[in-house]
Structure 1
């Protein structure tokens, strides 16, 4: 059965990201993080990001499981425990950031303008959100080209790293110029009122989502501080 993906306003996504970042910094127990991961799985799922939600969720659960192998401290079977501790919390933030990165840059720019953000802050964030998926596509292109030519080899990792990094940096520099020219052509430097073809509205569902996120934050903090001993 095909379900219609729910459209979430950028301002609501920004609030969810801030709350998940707060939880990742304050929560000390993995169980509390896993509760938040379940919420974020549903959050991504209702927006149509099924594969990303499942990937990050099971990656977080796997990391939490690896941490239980040693209890606390020390080295697990694969990675130092402190690194797993950080990766588990980063996975929560990545789930919140994924929904923001996948938004159209024009919608993000219009949302920033509605919030009254200064251009010095809004424009770099907008370009970053636009640039991230572009660089990911460039990495895929370079990997495909190197694989076809048989240049990717685990026997020579530094050489493979050089073959990957240099083309990506070169292409990224050219793409950044193209993005800047495209933004100027669309009048991003115009000091007047900007229009947007997209309907930027803060709907009731966005408010409900923020309230649910605040409730989850309170529950996780209470659970982490007073329930888990």
Structure 2
């Protein structure tokens, strides 16, 4: 029997995302980044995102391994070293953003109202977090259609890229209009006081999560600056 997922407040997730964003810019060594990714894997698994956490962690470890291989003039076995350096740190940030993108839009909107952020800032972030999983689903739909028609081919990557990108852009335009219409029907532009069916409350688990995040980040920085050097 699967253990129930831990519910984390959006504000705590936003703080973890900001912390991982800063940490990805400060860490120099790949070992420290992989250690931070291990914490984020546990963070995602606690919220029942097992597959995403494990996949991202294994991806980061693979990138770190490729960077450890000897290269010539900054070129590793597959890609330029600076590109792998950036991808590894971007993966850490994506792990922190993944938990936010899987939250219900209504809870995100209610959390922003609880934080009293201006709508000019809250609304674009809400739509972005809602739109990203939708586009991901559209890519899967297009890939399935292309595979059924036999149009996916590794020997013609440019043609495959064209066949994939154009339908996704076209469908995403329609989806963006539908999302905007749905938000208007729910009164998102109403200047009055908004109510929410979701209880937005910062609980003990959120405080514990932030303490663990800050403590683990401090450990990663210590290892990166004083142990690895």
CA offset digits 1:126-162 (Å, max 9, x no partner): 0011111111111111111111111222233222222
Deviation at 1:205, TM superposition (A): 0.7
Query: Residues of 1 paired with 2:42 and 2:161: CA distance?
Result: 36
Query: Residues of 1 paired with 2:145 and 2:167: CA distance?
Result: 11
Deviation at 1:184, TM superposition (A): 0.4
Which residue does 1:69 correspond to in 2?
69
Q: Secondary structure at the match of 1:45?
A: helix
- Give the aligned length: 229
TM-score (norm 2): 0.96
Deviation at 1:78, TM superposition (A): 1.3
Deviation at 1:71, TM superposition (A): 7.7
Are 1:115 and 2:122 an aligned pair?
no
Deviation at 1:172, TM superposition (A): 0.7
Which residue does 1:86 correspond to in 2?
86
CA offset digits 1:65-104 (Å, max 9, x no partner): 1111128962221111111111111111111010011011
Query: Residues of 2 paired with 1:97 and 1:57: CA distance?
Result: 14
Which residue does 1:151 correspond to in 2?
151
TM-score (norm 1): 0.96
Which residue does 2:12 correspond to in 1?
12
Q: Secondary structure at the match of 2:194?
A: coil
Q: What are the ranges of 5 or more consecutive residues in structure 2 without an aligned counterpart?
A: none
Which residue does 2:141 correspond to in 1?
141
Which residue does 2:52 correspond to in 1?
52
